[in-house]
Amino acid sequence: MSIAIIDFGMGNLTNLLNAYQYLGLNAYITSNIQQIQKSDKIILCGAAKFKKAISFLKMSGLDTVIKQHAQKGKYLLGICLGHQLFFRRCFQESVCEGLGLIKGDVINLKNQDSKTKHIGGNSINIKPAPIFKDIPNKLNVYFAHSYYAKCHSRFVIARCEHSGQSFAATVQKGNIIGLQFHPEKSGYEGLKILKNFGEL
C-alpha cells in the first residue's frame, strides 16, 4: 500500500509525511505524475489561494491525474485547501472552477463577530464512518481557514460550529474524503484518522 502526498509547492507537507512515517505507513511527497498514478491512495494538502492552486494543478496535468485516480475508485483525501479543491467552484477573489469531484461551492466563512478566520482547536460532531473508526465524538481538531465548502448534507460526515455558524468539517463521496481541519496537527486522534485513511 502506497500513499502519494502531492507536492504542488503550496504548503508545508513535512508534518504530514512525518505523521505517516511515525505510523509506519508507506507515504511519500511527490509531484511525479507516473509515481502518483502508481500509488494506491492520494493526499492533496496545501495552504494557498484557491485560484493559484487550481491553476498549478491544471498547468501541470495533476488535475487530470487526480480525477482519473478518483474515477478508478481509489481513495483520495483532501486536507484544508486540498479538500476545498474537490468542489465545483470557489468564490474568493473571483469565481474559480475547482476539480468538480463533489457538487458544492467554497465560500467565505462569515461570522457574527465579523472575523472570517477560524484558527485553532475546535470540536467536531461526527457521524459513523470508516475514517472515524475508534474516534470519539466532540473530537478537538486544529483548523486554519477562512473559507469552507457548502454542499448537500448527504456528503457531510462531520460538522463544526464557529461563532454561531455551522459548516462541514469532513465530507465524503464514496472514495473521496475531505477534511477541512489538519489531522497531522490534531494530536493522537488526528494520527488515528490518518491511520484509518491508510487502512481503507
Judge whether 80 counts as a catalytic residue: yes
* CB of 178 closer than 8 Å to CB of 83: yes
**Alpha-carbon distance 17 to 23, whole Å?**
10
Counted residue by residue, the chain has a size of 200
**Alpha-carbon distance 17 to 5, whole Å?**
8
Residue in 45, 69, 80, 96 annotated catalytic: 80
| C-alpha gyration radius of the chain | 15
Judge whether 182 counts as a catalytic residue: yes
Judge whether 199 counts as a catalytic residue: no
Residue in 69, 145, 162, 182 annotated catalytic: 182
DSSP secondary structure letter of residue 33: H
Helix (H) or strand (E) holding 51: helix 50-60
Q: Which long-range contacts link 133-136 to residues 24+ away (Cβ below 8 Å)?
A: 133/192, 133/196, 134/192, 134/196, 135/189, 135/192, 135/193, 135/196, 136/189
> Phi and psi for 55 in degrees, rounded to 5?
-65, -40
* CB of 184 closer than 8 Å to CB of 194: yes
Residue in 45, 69, 96, 184 annotated catalytic: 184
Which residues participate in catalysis according to the annotation?
80, 182, 184
